């Protein structure tokens, strides 16, 4: 106990609370924005399916995580442990355990949603692998959700070791937490490669194939955040958990947020591609109509000019005929008014 107290420091001016709040809420907002666009587009196209429902539930869990984190920060989470009102420790630990369970659920559901999308597009052994990936993501997430609640009695001792009570060995739980995060990253990367197999054999232009594959493979970024989360899981064993767990909270939020965004982008890409194509076609049609009207106007002007020219030539002929007739009549008379007889 004395060793733990010696490792604690006090500095009331140091806190990671605002950083956690701003980052987590921003990630939640960005993910919500992309999800809302996805749902609006799919509803307009009549293509809402189970993958969108699962993704929506995932975002709701991410929102709950942001709320729980904010409540913890309001009580002092993010400060050094010695600077937190000790009466708030129990509430903070309950909020922290709940937040860990909620964030793990959000991460898992966001990746299962993409798996459900791929399930409709695959067949044979690839479909079987997608099912395997979804099943293992779900199964391996369950212990991660449960462990914070059963490691120690009372629960506060799970996060604050100097509190009197009993605990199981925490090291295996930390090892398992890192394994679960790494497995999640492996599944992200492997699922992100599947669209390349599906799309590359389709009759499409190479540039379009690459664009679609990249859009559907952005789940790799969620895998990167999972690796970073695995790196910071070991910080859960640090003595000053309130101050040192900042990166764990941020990267767990980033992982689910990135998965939601990456899963939504392919839908947005198709929509914006169709919208741009529609705008280009409308512009081209409008240009053709303007050219046609201009050509018709020019043709009408040319016809009017030709018609006027014909009328003018007719008038000239009439005048010429009239003048020659007058001349002949004038030649029939002499200067004294008598007629010429030939």
pLDDT at residue 335 in the model: 42
Distance (Å, whole) CA 32 – CA 24 = 12
Alpha helix (H) ranges present in the chain? 2-7, 17-45, 50-74, 89-121, 124-150, 156-159, 170-200, 206-216, 219-233, 241-244, 246-331
* Residue, of 247 and 116, whose pLDDT is higher: 116
Residues 210-246 pLDDT 10s = 877 787 788 888 889 998 888 887 666 666 778 888 8
Distance (Å, whole) CA 302 – CA 297 = 9
Distance (Å, whole) CA 63 – CA 192 = 25
Residue 167 phi/psi, 5° resolution? -140, 150
Cβ neighbours around 217 below 10 Å, total = 20
Judge if pTM exceeds 0.85: no
Count of all residues that appear for the chain in the document: 342
Range with the poorest average pLDDT among 169-183, 199-213, 250-264, 274-288: 274-288
Range with the poorest average pLDDT among 39-43, 115-119, 263-267: 263-267
Q: What tokens does 5 get?
A: 């107290």
Please, which pLDDT band fits residue 300 given cuts at 50, 70 and 90? low
Please, which pLDDT band fits residue 257 given cuts at 50, 70 and 90? very high
Instruction: Please state the three-class secondary structure of 107-131 as a single string.
Output: HHHHHHHHHHHHHHHCCHHHHHHHH
Q: Name which of 186, 203, 54, 172 is nearest 120 in CA terms.
A: 54
pLDDT at residue 202 in the model: 77
Work out the burial of residue 259: count CB atoms within 10 Å of its CB; fewer than 13 is exposed, 13-18 middle, 19 or more buried. Answer: buried
CB 144, CB 176: distance < 8 Å:
yes
Task: Please tell me what DSSP assigns to residue 49.
Answer: -
Q: What tokens does 191 get?
A: 């699922």
pLDDT at residue 327 in the model: 46
Provide the phi-psi class of 48: left if phi over 0, else alpha when psi is between -120 and 50, else beta.
Answer: beta
Beta-carbon contacts of residue 28 (< 8 Å; ≥ 6 apart): 59, 62, 63, 65, 66, 253, 257
What CATH fold (topology level) applies to the domain 14-277?
Rhopdopsin 7-helix transmembrane proteins (1.20.1070)
pLDDT at residue 303 in the model: 60
Give the start-to-end residue ranges of the domains of the chain: 14-277
Q: Name which of 213, 80, 77, 241 is nearest 151 in CA terms.
A: 241
pLDDT at residue 119 in the model: 94
Q: If you average pLDDT over every residue of the chain, what do you get?
A: 81
**Read out DSSP for 203-254?**
SS-HHHHHHHHHHHTTHHHHHHHHHHHHHHHGGGGSS-HHHHTHHHHHHHHH
Q: Is the pLDDT of residue 285 over 80?
A: no
Angle in degrees, 0-180, between the axes of helices 17-45 and 246-331, rounded to the nearest 10: 50
Residue 333 phi/psi, 5° resolution? -115, 145
Q: What tokens does 48 get?
A: 């809402």
């Amino acid at each position: 106990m004395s060793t733990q107290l010696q490792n604690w420091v006090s500095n009331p001016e140091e806190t990671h609370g605002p950083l956690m709040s701003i980052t987590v809420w921003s990630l939640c907002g960005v993910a919500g924005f992309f999800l809302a666009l996805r749902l609006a587009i799919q509803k307009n196209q009549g293509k809402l399916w189970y993958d969108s429902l699962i993704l929506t539930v995932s975002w709701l869990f991410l929102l709950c995580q942001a709320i729980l984190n904010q409540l913890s920060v309001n009580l002092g989470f993010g400060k050094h442990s010695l600077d937190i009102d000790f009466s708030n420790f129990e509430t903070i630990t309950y909020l922290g355990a709940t937040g860990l369970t909620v964030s793990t659920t959000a991460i898992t559901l966001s990746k299962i949603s993409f798996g459900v999308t791929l399930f409709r597009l695959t067949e044979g052994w690839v479909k079987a692998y997608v099912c395997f990936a979804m099943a293992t993501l779900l199964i391996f997430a369950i212990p991660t959700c449960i462990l914070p609640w059963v490691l120690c009695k009372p629960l506060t001792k799970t996060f604050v070791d100097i509190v009197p009570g009993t605990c199981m060995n925490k090291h295996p739980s930390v090892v398992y937490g890192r394994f679960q995060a790494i497995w999640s990253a492996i599944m992200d990367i492997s699922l992100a490669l599947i669209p390349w197999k599906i799309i590359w054999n389709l009759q499409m232009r190479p540039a379009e194939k690459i664009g679609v594959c990249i859009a559907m493979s952005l789940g790799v970024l969620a895998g990167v955040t999972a690796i970073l989360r695995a790196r910071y899981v070991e910080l859960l064993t640090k003595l000053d958990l309130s101050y040192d767990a900042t990166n764990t909270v941020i990267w767990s939020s980033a992982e689910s947020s990135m998965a939601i965004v990456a899963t939504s982008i392919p839908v947005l890409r198709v929509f914006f591609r169709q919208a741009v194509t529609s705008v280009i076609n409308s512009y081209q049609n409008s240009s053709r109509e303007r050219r046609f009207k201009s050509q018709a106007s020019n043709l009408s002007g040319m016809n009017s000019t030709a018609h006027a020219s014909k009328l003018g030539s007719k008038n000239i002929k009439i005048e010429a005929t009239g003048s020659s007739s007058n001349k002949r009549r004038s030649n029939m008379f002499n200067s004294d008014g008598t007629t010429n007889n030939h």
